[in-house]
Structure 1
Amino acid sequence: MCSLSAVLFLGEAEGGKILVFPVDGSHWVNMNLLIQSLHSRGHEVTVVRTATSWYVKEHAPHYRSLTVALPSAISIEQEDFFVTFLVKMLAIHKEGATLSGFVKFYWEMLGTLSNIHRQASLLAVEMFENKTLMQSIRDTQFDVVLLDPGLPVGVLVAHELKLPTVFNVRWITSGEGHFVVAPSPTSYVPMSGYAVSDKMTFGQRVKNTFQYFLNTCIDRFIVCPHYDRLVDRYFGPDVKFYDLLQGADIWLMRVDFVFEFPRPTMPNIAYIGGFQSTPSKPLSSELEEFVQSSGEHGFILMSLGTLVNGLPEEITSEIAAAFAQLPQKVIWRHAMKPPKNVGNNTLLVKWMPQNDLLGHPKIKAFVAHGGTNGIYESMYHGVPIIGIPLLFDQFENVLRLEERGAAKAVDATQLTRQSFLEAIQEVLHNPSYGTNMKRLSALHRDKPMHPLETALYWVEFVMRHKGASHLRTESYRMPWYAFYSVDVVCFLIAVVLTLTAVVVGSIRFLCLRLCGRRKTKKE
C-alpha cells in the first residue's frame, strides 16, 4: 500500500523537481542536509520513505513525502537493530580469530545483509505494482532522481521513469562506491572491510586481493540476486542491475583526499567530503556553563553516532571509570542505562550539538566510534580523536587518521579502564596529535568552493542538461573479456605463437635443405 502525505502535483515550483530515495539512520543526516539546501534554492523535493522509517519523518517543511507501506520493516529502520547487531559482533570478536569465530561472524553478517536487501527490494515491488502511484509520479514530471545507493531501489525506479540519476554516496552494495565506478588496483587501493594503509606489504596485498574477491562474491551472490530478480521481472533479460548501478550520471562522493588514500577516479565523480561541516554556533547556557567549569583542563567529547545507542555495560563501566580519573570534564552522549563508575566530571546526555561542541575553544579530544560524519566534523575543527571502532567502515576510518598521526585507536573488545586512560592521556599530552589534526583541518578547509556548494552545483547541472552522459564511461557495458582485454591478449599470444611457429618452421626447413645439399655433395 502507498499513500501520498502531500499532493505531488501542486503548482510549478520555482526550481526543478527532485525525487529522493534516502537510506535511514546516519545516512539520512547527510541526505537531509542536502535536500534542505536544494529546497532553499527553490527546488521541489519529494522523499520516498517507508511507513516504519524512524529518521525520515512523514512531515517536514522542506520536502513532501511519499510513504510506502511494506509487508515488514527493513531491519535497519528498527531503532534497536544496530545495538543488537553490535552486541553479537563484539561477542564473536571476543572469541578470537578462530576458524569457528570467523565462520560465525560471516554467517551472521551475510544472513543479515541478505535480509536487509530482500526487505528493501520489496519497496520497488510495492511501487511498481501500484499503477496509480507510478502514473502520478510520471505526471509530476520529475527532473532527476537523487538517491543513496546503499539500498539501491531508487536505481530501478529511475530507470522505469527514464530519469537521470545522482548518487549521494560513499557506500554501495559491494562496499565503497569507487569500486564500481573507477579502477581500483588491489596493489595500493585498500578494499572495503580490510583496514590497512595504501602502503602494503606483500602479505597485505595478498589479503587485499582475497578481500576483493570476497567482496565481489558477497555482492554477486548475496546482495544482487534480490535486485536481479526485480530487473528481470520488470525490465526483461536485456537489462542488468549492475549496469543500472554503474550508469549513474553523477556520483557525489562523500570523500576528501585529505582523509582518503589517493586512488584513481572518474570525471563524473564530484568530491563532497565534509559537506555537512559548518562553523560552530554558541552553546546553550547549561552546556556553556558546564564547559567553562572545566577551567584550563578543557573538556572531552564522546559520542557513538546516530546508529549505536550504547556499548555493552561491561565496556561502558570501564570507560566511565577511566573518565573519572581525568582532570578534564567529559560530555558523553549516552542514551542507555547510566554506566557504573560515572565520575562527577562526566555529563551524560541523550543528545548534544556535536558540531558546536567540537568547535568550542575548550575542546581537547573527541572519543568517537569512527563514523564518517563525526570524522569530518572533527577534522574540520582540528580536534584529535580517540577511536573506538565498532562496525563496518569505522575500523578503516580510524586507521586513516592513525596513519596521519591524528588519532589513536582502542580495541573495544580489549578495552580496560587502564588501557583507555592511557590512550586518552597519550592524545592529550602528545602535541603531535593536535598538530597533525590541525594540519588536516587547514588542508580540508582550503578549497575553491564549499563541498555543499559543489554538491548543489552538480545536482542542478544534471537537471539543466537532462543528465551528464558525456562524463560517464560506457566501459561497464563491455563484456568482461573485452574490459580486461582478454581477447586482445589471446590474439597477441596467438600472433606470437604463429610467428614463432613460422620462424621455427622456416629455420628447420632451411636447416633440412642445407643438410640435404651437404649430403648430396658428399655422395
Structure 2
Amino acid sequence: MLNLLLVLCATVLNGVFGANILFATVLPSPSHHIWHEAIVEGLLKNGHNITLIGHEKPVIKSTNYTVLQLEIEDLLNDEAKAEFISSLQQPFLSVQFEMWEFTVELAKHDLDSPILTRLMEYPTDSFDILIYDMVVPHLLPLSDHFGMIPIVGTSPYGSNPMLAESFGHHFYTYFPNSALPYADDMSFLQRVENYMYYIITLGVKCYYSKTMNEVIQEKFGKDTSSIASYENRVGLLLSNYDPILDFPEPVPPQIIPVGGVNARPAKKLPQDIKEILDNSKDGVIFFSLGTNMDLSFWSMDTIKTFLTAFSKLKQTILWKYIGDDLIGVPKNIIIRKWYPQNDILAHKNVKIFITHNGALSTHEAMYHGVPTVGIPFFMDQINNAKKMETKGLGRSVDFHTLTAEILYKTIDEVLQNPMYKQNMKRLSRQFRDRPETALERAVFWIEYALRHKDVSNLSTKGRYMSVYQRENLDVLVFLGLSMFIVIYVLFSISTWFADKAIFRRDKKVKQH
C-alpha cells in the first residue's frame, strides 16, 4: 500500500511540475521526425506536456502529446520528392542553392497554413519553452509570440557549418565538411577544398537570409527580429553527434552531443519477422535506404543490379522497398514496404546492414554492432560512409558506378573479413559504456534550460564575434603593418647610417 501511495505521489508531482513544451520540427523529413520523437518520448516519461508542429504523423500515442500536422502534399508529393533528391546529385554550389530555394518555398507554404494560424490562437502563456529543429528557421518567431520563451535548438543532421557557425563552433580548418568524402587527416589540397565548401555554405546562407527575413516578417510583422538574432538567442543545441563514431571535435559548452538518441534496446519483433531471423541458418542481410531514399525512384536496370548481386548470396535478404511489386525476385529476398529497423539490427543473426549511411541508421548500426555496406547519395551520407571505412566498420560503394559484381564483392568482403564485425562490436561497447544514455542527456539539458531559462553564460564569445575578429584578421593586419613599419624604420635607419658612413669615407678620401 505504501509503495502504491509513493507511486501515486510521484505521478502527481510529475504532473504538477511538468512543463508545457512547444516542439517545432518543420523540415519534411521522416528521419528527422523519428529522431525528434525519441526525445519527445523521453520528455513524456518525465511528465511534460508536448505540442509538436511539423509535417509528419505522430507515432507516439499519449494524452500529453498533441501533434499539429502541417499540410505538405501539394509541395512535396512523390514526384517532387524524387526530383528534389535527384537534384542533390548536382555540384555542391548548385545543391546549396537548390536547398535554400526549397527552404524559402517551404517557409511560404508553412506560414500560410491554417494549422499555424490555429497554433498562434493559443493563449500567449501556453508554453514554457520552444524546442526547434534549426535546419529551417521560419518558425523561430514563435518564441516571441508565446512570451519570449527560451529556445533549445536541435540538429538531427549533426555538426554542419551552417549551424556550427551560429553557435560559435568554427571547426572547418581540420574537420571535413559533411558533404566531402574525407577523414579528419586531410591533405593540404583537401583542406583548401574543405574551406571553399565552408565559404560556399555560409555565402549562400547569407544570400538567402534577406529573402527569408522578408518572408518571416510578412507573417509575424515588420518588427520581427532577423534570423541571425533568433539564432543568437538559442541557448543550447542538441546535436546528433557522438565522438565514438564521428570524428572527434571540441564542441563549445552550449552544443550538447546527443548522437544516437534513436538507438536503443530492441522491442519485441513481429512474430513473422522473428521467425525469419531465427530460422535463417546462414544469417540475414538487412537492406534499407532510409525514409527519404528508395530504389523505386531509380530505373529498373538499377534495381536489377541489386537483384543480381543478392541472388549470388546464401544469406536471407530483408529489403525495405516502397515501390510496386517486383517480378523475378530470388527466393532469398523478402521485400516489404516497412521493417522495424532498430529491432532487426539487434538480432544476433543479422550479419550486415546495407544502408545509405544516414545519421540515424549509422548510429543504430553502431549501437547494435552490425557492420555496414554503405551506398551514400548526398550530404552527410557521404562523410558518414567515409567514417565507417576509416574506422574499419564497413565498406562503401559508389552508386553511380555500381555494378552487380562490385556490390557482390563488397558484401562478400565484409561478410568474410571478421575485422569489420570485431571493430563494430568494440565501438558498440564503447558507445554503451557511459553514465547516461544520449536520450537521458538530451532530456536533462532541456530540463536544465527550463529550470534556468537564461543559459547564455554557456555560449563562447566567438559566437557573437564578426568573421574578421574571430579569424584574427584584424590582429594579423595589425601585426603585418607593425612588422612592415618596424622593418621600414630599421631599413631607413640602416640606410641613413650607411649613407653617413659612405659620406664620411668619401670626405676623407677627398681630404687626402
TM-score tier, shorter chain, comes to: 0.7 to 0.9
Instruction: Measure, in 1, the Cα distance between the counterparts of 2:327 and 2:57.
Output: 30
Counterpart of 2:261 in structure 1 is 275
Distance across 2 between alignment mates of 1:127 and 1:469: 34
- Equivalent residue in structure 2 for 1:446, among 433, 442, 467: 433
Q: Out of 251, 266, 283, which is 1:265 matched to?
A: 251
Judge conservation of contact 2:35–2:156 (CA < 8 Å) in 1. no
Aligned counterpart for 1:463 among listed residues 439, 443, 450: 450
Q: Residue 482 and residue 395 in structure 1: after superposition, are their counterparts in 2 closer, same or farther (change >3 A)? A: closer
Q: What secondary structure is seen at the aligned counterpart in 2 of 1:171?
A: coil
Equivalent of residue 289 in structure 2, options 282, 304, 307: 304
Match of 2:41 among 32, 36, 57: 36
Relative to the length of structure 1, the TM-score reads 0.84
Q: Deviations along 1:143-163, whole A, 9 cap, x unmatched? A: 211011111223333255422
Equivalent in the alignment of 1:82 = 81
Aligned amino acid, residue 324 of structure 2? K
Against the structure 1 CA distance between its residues 146 and 177, is the aligned structure 2 distance closer, same or farther, given a 3 Å change threshold?
Answer: same
Structure 2: 5+ residue runs without aligned partners?
Answer: 1-14
- Provide the rounded CA distance (Å) in 2 between the counterparts of 1:413 and 1:508: 66
CA change 1:252–1:74 in 2 (3 A) is farther
Q: 1:505 to 1:86 in 2, by over 3 A?
A: closer
Classify the secondary structure of the residue corresponding to 2:334. Answer: strand
How far apart are 1:204 and its partner, in Å? Answer: 1.7
The more displaced of 331-340 and 54-63 is: 54-63
Do the aligned partners of residues 267 and 434 (structure 1) sit closer, same or farther apart at CA in structure 2, a change above 3 Å counting?
Answer: same
Is 2:23 aligned against 1:20?
Answer: yes
Letter in 2 for 1:352: Y
Cα displacement (A) at 1:219: 2.0
Asked if structure 2 preserves the Cα contact closer than 8 Å seen for 1:58 and 1:67, the reply is no
Change (3 A) 1:61 1:342: farther
Secondary structure of 1:139's counterpart equals: coil
Match of 1:144 among 91, 114, 129: 129
Higher RCO, Cα 8 Å, sep 6+ = 2
Q: What residue in structure 2 maps to residue 8 of structure 1?
A: none
Q: What secondary structure sits across from 2:268 in the alignment?
A: coil
More off after superposition, 24-33 vs 105-114 = 105-114
Residues 251, 268 of structure 1: 8 Å contact kept:
yes
Deviations 1:267-295 (A, max 9, x none): 11111111111112332221122223312
Question: SS of the counterpart of 1:326?
Answer: coil
CA contact (8 A) 1:321 1:417 kept: yes
Cα deviation for residue 44 of structure 1 reads: 1.4
Give the Å deviation of 1:114: 0.7
User: Displacement, 1:450?
Assistant: 0.6
1:488 aligns with 2:490: no
Contact 1:145 1:154 (8 Å CA) reproduced? no
2:394 to 407, 412, 415: 407
The match for 2:464 is 477
Q: 1:420 to 1:68 in 2, by over 3 A?
A: closer
- 2:317 is paired with a residue whose SS is strand
SS for the counterpart of 2:415 is helix
Q: Which amino acid aligns with 1:149?
A: M
Q: Indicate yes or no: 2:226 matched with 1:227.
A: no
8 Å contact 1:82–1:308 — kept in the other structure?
A: no
Task: Classify 1:55/1:309 alpha carbon distance in 2 versus 1 (closer, same or farther; 3 Å).
Answer: farther
What is the number of residues matched between the two proteins?
Answer: 490
Distance 1:129 1:309 in 2: 31
What are structure 1's unaligned runs of at least 5 residues? Answer: 1-11, 94-101
Q: Which amino acid aligns with 1:328?
A: Q
CA contact 1:298–1:364 (8 Å) conserved in 2:
yes
Q: CA deviation at 1:418?
A: 2.0
Please report how far the alpha carbon of residue 460 of structure 1 lies from its aligned counterpart in structure 2 after TM superposition.
0.2
Identify the residue that residue 186 of structure 2 maps to in structure 1.
200
Q: Is the 8 A contact 2:179 2:378 kept in 1?
A: no
- 2:5 is matched with none
Q: d(CA) in 2 for partners of 1:334 and 1:399?
A: 25
Aligned 1:118-133 pairs, distance under 5 A: 118-121=105-108, 123-124=110-111
Task: Please give the alpha-carbon distance, in whole angstroms, between the structure 1 residues aligned to 2:152 and 2:185.
Answer: 32
Query: Counterparts of 2:116 and 2:410 in 1: how far apart (Å)?
Result: 55
1:84–1:173 distance in 2 versus 1, CA, 3 Å: farther
1:240 is displaced (CA, Å) by 4.0
- In structure 1, the partner of 2:228 is 242
- Partners of 1:150 and 1:73 lie apart in 2 by 21
Question: Aligned Cα RMSD in Å?
Answer: 3.2
Q: Work out the CA distance in 2 between the residues paired with 1:500 and 1:362.
A: 72
Q: Please give the alpha-carbon distance, in whole angstroms, between the structure 1 residues aligned to 2:333 and 2:224.
A: 60
Indicate the SS of the match to 2:186: coil
Q: Deviations over 1:163-214 (max 9, x none)?
A: 2211121439975643442444444210132121111122322222222222
Once the two structures are superposed, residues 71-127 of structure 1 have per-residue CA deviations (whole angstroms, 9 ceiling, x without a partner) of: x8543xx455433434566xxx6xxxxxxxx56x86476335413333225535769
Moved more, 345-354 or 452-461: 345-354
User: Structure 1 residues 344, 225: closer, same or farther in 2, change over 3 A?
Assistant: same
Residue 359 of structure 2 corresponds to residue 372 of structure 1? yes
When normalised by structure 2's length, the TM-score is: 0.86
- Residue of structure 1 in register with 2:273 after alignment: 287
Kept in 1: contact 2:285–2:350 (CA 8 A) = yes
Q: Say if 2:499 is the partner of 1:500.
A: no
- Please give the alpha-carbon distance, in whole angstroms, between the structure 2 residues aligned to 1:238 and 1:85: 31
Name the stretch that deviates more: 121-130 or 479-488.
121-130
